[in-house]
Amino acid sequence: MKRIFLLATVVMVFSSAPAGADESGAEFLEKQCASCHDLKGPAPATIRDLWKRDAPDLFYAGNKFRREWLVEWLQKPVRIRPAGVNYLRSINSTPPENQKKRSGRQFDVLWGTVLKPLKHVTLSAADANKAADALMDLAPHYELVANEKYTNPPGVTLDSGEILIDKVYGCVSCHQIEPGYGGYTGAELYTAGKRLQPEYMLSYIERPKNWDPKIWMPNGHVKPDDLQKIVKYLILLSKEDFHASN
Amino acid sequence: MRLTRMIFAAAVLMFVASPFSYAEEAYLNYKQYCMQCHGMHGKGDGVNVPAMNVLPRDHSDNKYMMTRTNTEIYKAIKFGGPAVNKSVKMPAWGDTFTEQELQELVGHIRTLCCEKELVRGVNFK
């Protein structure tokens, strides 16, 4: 009887090996990412807490990112938010002499670490895959994306989308729709289509506060039809090659 | 007697300190949400501005701001630029702020543009 019990114990221990492999992904994240990224949530509920944030929250990465983009990005990390994750840390009201406008009108300028290449761990292909798998498992906000459905509306072109984004809803004030064109304090939009899941984009644009209660992106009260068109435009935009020579 | 004094002191402290705490919250909100376009000193020269075709309002412009009522400023913040016949570049922040925060922000903007008038007790409507 004792032998059977021992055998059962041994079988149980070894059969739980896949769970162990799963855990190693989570452990990997904990070791590599947790010192800067929030992997547990919830999102900061006060402005002061938000200002303590050093890197984007990843606790809902599985609701947010496309896995293939994560794998690619983790092997070659580049900056996504031109003004950094907290723009207040990286602006300065006195531009250096060489950046002063001849017209006499001056603006606040980016300053500090955001002017240098992003400092981020670069992973090998195997590690990037492991981290991406573990990140895709972090999906606590299922209820926010469950009711969103991307309809892939017809008739949206890069031009009509740009009119929506720029003239109708004014997103370009803070977001760039091509490298160097647009505001600095939002995440770049020309990679959003390949970076983010369509359902996440729908839900986030609809009400950013649901995902990040104190974020400096307003609720634009985008009409449902326009919301679909904007997401379609972002997906179209992300397929453009911005580094192609003219 | 001592208790009465303490209650009196607490009441005085609350009366004196509360406007400052409101002011601080309003400043935090201004810093967090408005500075990206209206600039670190509220002069309409925020970091995002070079890409804009319509420039944000200079909140320190006393001459212009004195022509606007508090209600108009409140509407511009809550419902966005189009609500006061201005640009869509000013988004609606009604979902971001509570009613009290909106009122405090209007008060904060008045401190940027119209400090002398505030001291004189002008009614901004």
A163 or A18, greater pLDDT: A163
Considering the domain architecture, whether residues A35 and A136 belong to the same structural domain is answered as yes
Inter-chain contact A107–B50, Cβ cutoff 8 Å? Answer: yes
Inter-chain contact B32–A169, Cβ cutoff 8 Å? Answer: no
Label residue B108 by pLDDT band (50, 70, 90).
very high
Can you list the domains of chain B with their CATH numbers?
A: 21-120 (1.10.760.10)
In a domain, A176, yes or no: yes
Q: What range defines the domain where residue A53 resides?
A: 28-77+121-140
The confidence score (pLDDT) of residue B4 equals 74
The confidence score (pLDDT) of residue B15 equals 52
As a whole number, mean pLDDT of residues B101-120 equals 92
- pTM (2 d.p.): 0.85
Q: Which residue of B has its CA nearest to A86?
A: B32
What CATH number has the domain bearing residue A167? 1.10.760.10
Hey, what amino acid is at A120?
A: H
In a domain, A2, yes or no: no
In a domain, A10, yes or no: no
Quote the distance between the C-alpha of residue B14 and its chain's center.
22
First to last CA, chain B: 43
**Chain B CB contacts of A92 below 8 Å:** 40
State the nearest Cα–Cα gap between B105 and chain A, in angstroms.
15
Task: Give the mutation candidate from B36, B49, B95 for the A interface (greatest A CB count, under 10 A).
Answer: B36
Cβ A201 vs Cβ A208: under 8 Å: no
Q: Provide the total of helices (H) and of strands (E) in chain A, helices listed first.
A: 11, 4
Question: What ipTM does this complex have?
Answer: 0.83
In a domain, A192, yes or no: yes
**Chain A CB contacts of B48 below 8 Å:** 173-174, 183-185
In a domain, A180, yes or no: yes
Considering the domain architecture, whether residues A153 and A212 belong to the same structural domain is answered as yes
Count of domains observed in chain A: 3
Considering the domain architecture, whether residues A134 and A157 belong to the same structural domain is answered as no
**Chain A CB contacts of B37 below 8 Å:** 173-174, 183
Considering the domain architecture, whether residues A237 and A152 belong to the same structural domain is answered as yes
The confidence score (pLDDT) of residue B116 equals 87
As a whole number, mean pLDDT of residues A45-56 equals 94
pLDDT(B122) > 90: no
Q: Give the other-Cβ count within 10 Å of A194's Cβ.
A: 17
In a domain, A18, yes or no: no
pLDDT(B5) > 80: no
